[in-house]
Structures are given as structure tokens and as C-alpha cells.
Structure 1
Amino acid sequence: MLGLAPLRSAPLPIRASATACGRNTSQQLANGCQLSLLAPEAAEGDTALPENMHKWRMVIAYDGTKFKGWQYQPSIPTIQYFLEDALICITKLDRKKLCLVGAGRTDTGVHAWGQVAHFTTPFSYSCLSSIHSAMNGLLPPEIRVREISAARPEFHARSSTKSKVYRYKIYNEAIMDPFHNHYAYHSAYKLNPHAMQEAANYFVGIHDFTSFANAAHNDGERRPTKKITRFDVTEMGAVLQLEVEGTGFLYRQVRNMVALLLQVGKEALPPDIVPAIIAARDRKELAKVALSAPPHGLYLMSVNYDEEILKPPEGSPPISFGRTHHLRFSWFRTVNRGLSWPASFC
């Protein structure tokens, strides 16, 4: 049976409330961007964008080790909590107006390179680089906004999703590399990647994945039928990388699929166990042979959308990918100061 690897990390301190933020951020924004203020209106719900509200898309990367997942919880260190804290401080808007929505609710300890979220404001920006810098200046170093752009009114980070790509890393050596400790699952058993790939191929297609879904408190009416377009097992030295792309995933579905592939990799189960467990449509059948894989090996790599819906509205500010700093050396200034190059430079 697959053993669980508990996270061994100190809790992340909670930041001060956004209402306690000083004036530095607003001054920083004013220096780089001019705000075009429009009449504010309350944002109602996730999908409809009220008149005179502007929508913005962010691509976010984070090390999930010290966080309690994505989902906002008051006074608990979650990714959404810190993003909202920074946005409230910068925009002076409350949570209701910002209406921050993420593409996926990653669990405690799960990482991301390409998480996507959107938020709304009752004003526009003429440029985005200053708010981008201010965001990353306020966020913990484990969270970084990689990109900010204007979004179309119909864009929705979650419901507009075309597909998602998840990656799971396994360190497959007798001794665990300490530098992979929080970022890969350690399997001291020598795994058979060819058997794992054969088993992974059975996941590809349209299936009812009830057997691979844990019950969630906020599930509501689940739609267990999902489409997996690819599931690749790649050997990269000591690291075994599992990457899956699909139209959507149920709660803990990826970690449960990985758990079964680990058992196949250990050659404790044959590859054709996969279609049998899929057909059972019963989570208890999977529980008989595998536990859920630990969260720290899992990454949300990208959230994909149709190109049309990603096109920014007409007249929008350029996309911000962050500021690149350059050190400019002035030869004229050096000569005037009477400095000369060392002989070794000539």
C-alpha cells in the first residue's frame, strides 16, 4: 500500500489586515500608472459583470508547502487569502467588489505554475506594470503573479476553462534528495515506467471517474464524466514525471490516479486494473488497493482557454509580464572620472 508523507513545515505567519496598509502602495501605483476612475458598482456573483466594471486576468505561481490550499478562509494562510489581501491594499476595494475567482481550488501542499484567476474593479488602468510590481511586493515570496492582463467581460477563470494540465513528480531512488523533499514524492521502490505508461493509457478518453473522486464538502451535484486527452509518464533521471491533461478533474482525482499508477509501477498490480476500477464506479474499490498520493508532488501547470476568449478588450493596456531591470554602464561617465580598465581587460 502507498504510504502518506506528511508535510514537515512551520505554519506561515498571517499578514496584517489589508485595511491596515499604509500609503506606500498607492503612491507607487500613482508614479507608474494613471487610474481612470469610473462609477463603482457592486459585483453580483461570479459570472455576470455589472456595467462599468472592469475584469482582469492573472497567471499565478506558488509553492504550496506552507499554505492551506487555494480556497479563501478568514485568518488562515491560503493562496486566495493573500492575493485578496494584496488586492484590497492596492485597490482599496472590498472582497465583494474584487470578486476574485480561481480556475481551480488546489489542496493544502499542492503547488502551481499556471494557476489562473480573475478579479474586477470599478476603474481601469492605463498600464499594468505598477499594480503587477505592487502585488508581488506585498505577497509572500512563495506566491508570485507571473502575468496580469485585461480580460473580456465574458471571460471567467473557472467556467471558461478548456483544459487543465497537472504534473506529479516522483523521486525514484533509494535515498531521497533533500532538495526535492517538498516538491516530489519519494518512492524507494524501483518503479517500472513502461508498466505505468501502459496503465496511464487506459485513463485517456471519456470516462466516469467516480472511483477516483474523494467526497468534498462543497461538491454539490458532481459531474463525474470527464475527458482525459493525454497521460504521459516520463523518466528524467531519478525523477519520474507524470503529466495529465483533461477537460476537468474531480476532487483529488489526479492524486488518486497517481496512487494507482504507483502500485502498477511497483508491479504489485497489473496495468489492466485501471479499466476494472473505472468500470466499478465506486471509490471503495480503489481504496482496497491504493491510498491517495501525497499533495506535495502535485503541480497545476497550466489552465488552457480558447484563444478568442483570451483576446483583451479593445483599448486595453498591454499585458504585464513583470519589469526587467538592467544595469546600464556609462563609458563616458567612467572616463570622465579618471577610471581606467585593468590591463587584463585590454
Structure 2
Amino acid sequence: MGSLFLTSELRELAAATPEFHARFSAKSKVYHYKIYNDSIVNPFQCHYVYHSSYKLNTAAMREPARLFIGKHDFSAFVNVSHNDRVPDPVKTTYRFDVIELLGPSMQLEVEGSGFLYRQQVALLLQIGKQAIPADIVPKILATRDRRELAKYALSAPPHRLCLVSVKYNEEHLRLPSECPTTSFGKYHTISKCTFPFY
């Protein structure tokens, strides 16, 4: 038995309208999915990136990524075992960029109104490996059938995905009239948090 010491940082605390909801007031979310594209993965990054030992063709991935932009029914990307807990598979993707970083790293950056479990990454990886053609994307979307996607791609590991930012409905961010116009400050630090672990 022991204890774990955690430090977290509270950036800002401010009042919000009663209508504000951390999840449902979000207009869009930006996610990054990082990929390390080399025969041997950097050991300092192995828990934070998807390792592709196959050389990915980033140019081949860009056009199919753009095909996800717009309002689509993503029923073909629903994970049956998780059932996604999403009542509406219709989502809007505002942008989907394939970005080459320094060295053998790359990043998929997507902004949308919402996402389904392990949505499009696995399919783009297969296209990047040039195992399947880019024009498969609209065909799979049109089927609205998860079994069609399963013919071409397995799920991508979710722990390489990182939520970068959330854009909220501005109406829900307005302070109630009886509240102070400023927040309670920034950079308050909670320095102690211990709990037992085994």
C-alpha cells in the first residue's frame, strides 16, 4: 500500500449561465491523432503516438481526409460492440488536415461537431499505406453500414487521440448579470491530492 501525489493546475474559475453544459454547449472540438512513421518508434513517444512501420503516403491521405468534411451520416463508422452511446450518427466535420511534422512524425488534425468511436483514422492509415484506393471513402459513407468499413480497416488505438480545444456556444459563456465581470483569477494550484493504491 502507498499513496500517490498528484499536482493539477486550475487555470481559471468563472461563473456561467444555467444553460451551460461542458459537453452539450460545445459547438466543435479539435482533436489531434499523432503518428510516428518509421521502422523503429522513439521509446520516449511510444505511449503517445501510433507507430506505423509502413511508410505512409501523406499526399494520398489528404484528399480522402477532405472527403469527410461537411455534414455526413457516419453510421458506417459506429462501433457495434460499444454502440457509441450516440443517438444521432449525423455529424459535421469542419476541417480534417494531414500534417507532416519534424522527422518521421505526422498528425491528423480534425475539427467537428462530434465524433464516433475510432472514426476515420484506421481507414486513412490504410489509404496512406496505399492498401486501398482513396475513392473508397464516399462509398463507405454511402452504405451507412459498419460491416462495409470492416472489410477495409480495423479500429485504430484510441489512446493516441488528444483533445486539443473545445469551442463553446458564446451565448452559454456570457456571465449572468449579477456576477462580477472578471473571473476569480488564473493559475491557482492544487498542490496536494493523495489517495491509496495497491
Q: TM-score, with normalisation over the residues of structure 1?
A: 0.50
Q: How far, CA to CA, are the matches of 2:9 and 2:188 in structure 1?
A: 13
Deviations 1:229-279 (A, max 9, x none): 1000000022111011111122x1xx2300000000001111111101111
Q: 2:64 aligns with which of 195, 199, 221?
A: 199
Q: How far, CA to CA, are the matches of 1:271 and 1:194 in structure 2?
A: 11
**How far is 1:313 from its partner?**
2.7
Partner of 1:152: 17
- Runs (5+) with no aligned partner, structure 2: 190-198
**How far is 1:217 from its partner?**
5.6
Q: How high is the sequence identity, in percent, across the aligned residues?
A: 55
Distance 1:218 1:205, change over 3 A: closer
Distance 1:293 1:145, change over 3 A: farther
Contact 1:173 1:187 in 2 (8 A): yes
2:144 matched to 1:281?
yes
2:32 matched to 1:167?
yes
Q: How far, CA to CA, are the matches of 2:29 and 2:36 in structure 1?
A: 23
Contact 1:167 1:244 in 2 (8 A): yes
Partner of 1:219: 85
One-letter code aligned to 2:105: V
Q: How far, CA to CA, are the matches of 1:281 and 1:210 in structure 2?
A: 5
2:133 matched to 1:267?
no
Q: How far, CA to CA, are the matches of 2:184 and 2:73 in structure 1?
A: 39
Q: How far, CA to CA, are the matches of 1:153 and 1:303 in structure 2?
A: 19
Distance 1:224 1:14, change over 3 A: farther
Deviations 1:23-70 (A, max 9, x none): xxxxxxxxxxxxxxxxxxxxxxxxxxxxxxxxxxxxxxxxxxxxxxxx
2:174 matched to 1:308?
no
Map 1:244-259 → 2, pairs under 5 A: 244-250=110-116, 252=117, 255-259=118-122
Contact 1:233 1:240 in 2 (8 A): yes
> RMSD across aligned C-alpha pairs, in angstroms?
2.2
Larger Rg: 1
Q: How far, CA to CA, are the matches of 2:9 and 2:150 in structure 1?
A: 36
One-letter code aligned to 2:165: S
SS in 1 for 2:26: coil
Partner of 1:176: 41
2:186 matched to 1:321?
yes
**Hey, which of these two has a bigger chunk of strand by percent?**
2
- Runs (5+) with no aligned partner, structure 1: 1-12, 16-137, 325-346
Q: How far, CA to CA, are the matches of 1:285 and 1:155 in structure 2?
A: 38
Task: With a CA cutoff of 8 Å and minimum separation of 6, indicate the structure with the bigger relative contact order.
Answer: 2
Q: TM-score, with normalisation over the residues of structure 2?
A: 0.84
**How far is 1:295 from its partner?**
1.7
**How far is 1:14 from its partner?**
8.8
Contact 2:12 2:188 in 1 (8 A): no
Contact 1:151 1:313 in 2 (8 A): yes
One-letter code aligned to 1:235: E
SS in 2 for 1:313: coil
2:55 matched to 1:190?
yes
Contact 1:256 1:291 in 2 (8 A): no
- Alignment length, in residue pairs? 184
Distance 1:208 1:152, change over 3 A: same
Partner of 1:291: 154
Distance 1:193 1:146, change over 3 A: farther
Distance 1:258 1:154, change over 3 A: same
